[in-house]
C-alpha cells in the first residue's frame, strides 16, 4: 500500500537482535559476579575455619588452666594439712618440754609428804624448799623469771594489788608487803601477774 508492509516485522527483528546483544553482553558480567561471590564464600569459609581452630585452642588452654588450678588448690590444701599437723606436733613437743619439770616437782613433793607422814613433819621443810628451788631453776631454763618479791617496788604492769596496808615506815611506801601468788615473765612478756599486798601511805 504505502510500500512498508514489512515494517513491523523489521522492528520485531531489531528488538530481538537488541535483546540478544544485551543478553550476550550481560552473560560475562553475570559470570564475573558469580565468580566473585564464590571467591568471597571461600574467603569466609577460610576465616570460619581459622576462628574454629582458635576457639578449639582457647578451649584446650582453658581446660589446661582449670586443671592446673585444681592441682594447685589440692597442693595448697595438702600443705595446709601438713602445716596443721606439724604445728600440732610442735605444740605437743613444747607442752611436753614444759610439763617434764612439773612432773619432777610432783614426784619430789610426793616423797616429801610421805616422809612427813612417817616422821617429823617439820623435818620436811628443807626438802620442800629444795624442791621449790629446783622448780625455779627448771622454769628459768624454760625462759621464765619470777616477779613479785617482798620489798620490791609495786609495778602495775607486772603486779596486781589485792589490797593495801598502812606503811610502817615512809621509805616502804609503794613496795610489796607480802606475796599471795608469784608472777612470771617470759622474756618481756607477762605470763601471769604477781598478786600482792602493797604498803600505802595513809
pLDDT (0 to 100) of residue 8: 53
Q: Is residue 176 a contact partner of residue 149, using CB atoms and an 8 Å limit? A: yes
Average confidence score pLDDT of the chain: 81
Count Cβ atoms within 10 A of the Cβ of residue 54 and give its class: 0-12 exposed, 13-18 middle, 19 or more buried: exposed
Q: Which position has the higher pLDDT, 120 or 47? A: 47
Asked if pLDDT for residue 5 goes beyond 60, the answer is no
pLDDT (0 to 100) of residue 1: 46
Task: Find the mean pLDDT for residues 28-40.
Answer: 67
Task: Find the mean pLDDT for residues 3-14.
Answer: 56
Grid coordinates representing 25?
A: 553482553
Distance (Å, rounded) from C-alpha 149 to C-alpha 163? Answer: 16
pLDDT (0 to 100) of residue 83: 87
Distance (Å, rounded) from C-alpha 127 to C-alpha 121? Answer: 11
Asked if pLDDT for residue 174 goes beyond 90, the answer is yes
Q: Give the pLDDT band of residue 156 (cuts 50, 70, 90).
A: very high
Count Cβ atoms within 10 A of the Cβ of residue 123 and give its class: 0-12 exposed, 13-18 middle, 19 or more buried: exposed
**H-helix or E-strand containing 200?**
strand 194-200
Q: Can you give the pTM of this predicted structure?
A: 0.50
Asked if pLDDT for residue 160 goes beyond 90, the answer is yes
- Which CATH superfamily does the domain covering 143-202 fall into? Head domain of nucleotide exchange factor GrpE (2.30.22.10)
Q: Give the pLDDT band of residue 2 (cuts 50, 70, 90).
A: very low
Nearest to 154 by CA among 191, 193, 186: 193
Amino acid at each position: 500500500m504505502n510500500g512498508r508492509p514489512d515494517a513491523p516485522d523489521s522492528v520485531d527483528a531489531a528488538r530481538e537482535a537488541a535483546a540478544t546483544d544485551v543478553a550476550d553482553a550481560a552473560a560475562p558480567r553475570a559470570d564475573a559476579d558469580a565468580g566473585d561471590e564464590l571467591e568471597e564464600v571461600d574467603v569466609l569459609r577460610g576465616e570460619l575455619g581459622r576462628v574454629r581452630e582458635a576457639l578449639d585452642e582457647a578451649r584446650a588452654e582453658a581446660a589446661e588452666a582449670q586443671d592446673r588450678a585444681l592441682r594447685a588448690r589440692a597442693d595448697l590444701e595438702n600443705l595446709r594439712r601438713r602445716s596443721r599437723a606439724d604445728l600440732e606436733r610442735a605444740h605437743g613437743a613444747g607442752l611436753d618440754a614444759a610439763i617434764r619439770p612439773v612432773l619432777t616437782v610432783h614426784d619430789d613433793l610426793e616423797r616429801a609428804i610421805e616422809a612427813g607422814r612417817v616422821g617429823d613433819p617439820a623435818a620436811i621443810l628443807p626438802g620442800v624448799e629444795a624442791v621449790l628451788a629446783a622448780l625455779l631453776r627448771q622454769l628459768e631454763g624454760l625462759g621464765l623469771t619470777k616477779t613479785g618479791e617482798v620489798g620490791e617496788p609495786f609495778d602495775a604492769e607486772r603486779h596486781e594489788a589485792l589490797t593495801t596496808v598502812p606503811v610502817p615506815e615512809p621509805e616502804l611506801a609503794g613496795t610489796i608487803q607480802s606475796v599471795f601468788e608469784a608472777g612470771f615473765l617470759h622474756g618481756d612478756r607477762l605470763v601471769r601477774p604477781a598478786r600482792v599486798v602493797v604498803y600505802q601511805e595513809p
